[in-house]
Amino acid sequence: MGRGRGSLPDTVEGEIIVATYALTVNGRQAEVDVDPGTPLLWVLREHLKMTGTKYGCGIGACGACTVLVGGVATRSCLLPTSLVGNRSIATIETMASDPVGRVVQDAWVATDVVQCGYCQSGQIMTAVALLKTVRKPTDAQIEQSMGGNICRCGTYVRIRQAIARAAQQLG
Partner 1 sequence: MTRAQKIVVAVASITAIPTATWPANAQSKRTDGLAAWQRVYSVLTHPRCINCHTATGYPQQGDDRHRHGFNVVRGQTGMGVPAFTCAACHQRVNADSTGVPGAPGWHLAPLSMQWQDTRDQTMSSGAVCKAVTDRSKNHNLDGASLLKHHEEEPLVLWAFQPGRGLDGSPRSVPPLTHAEFVAATRTWVEAGVPCPTR
Contact 100, 126 (CB under 8 A): no
What is the nearest approach in angstroms of partner 1 to the Cβ of residue 37? 3
- Cβ contact 11:36 at 8 Å: no
d(CA 81, CA 83): 5
Q: How far is the C-alpha of 103 from the C-alpha of 98, rounded, in Å?
A: 8
CB of 31 to partner 1, least distance (A): 20
Rounded to the nearest whole angstrom, what is the least distance from the CB of residue 159 to partner 1 in the complex? 12
Name which of 28 and 136 has its Cβ closer to partner 1.
Answer: 136
Between 72 and 96, whose beta carbon lies closer to partner 1?
Answer: 72
Strand, helix or coil for residue 30: strand
How far apart are the C-alpha atoms of 22 and 27, rounded to whole Å? Answer: 12
CB of residue 44 to partner 1, shortest distance in Å: 15
Q: Between 26 and 66, name the residue whose CB sits nearer to partner 1.
A: 66
Decide: 97 and 103 in contact? Cβ < 8 Å: no
Binding site for partner 1 (CB under 8 A): 35-39, 59-61, 66, 72-75, 77-80, 83, 126-127, 129-130, 133-134, 137, 141, 144-148
Nearer Cβ to partner 1, position 35 or 106? 35
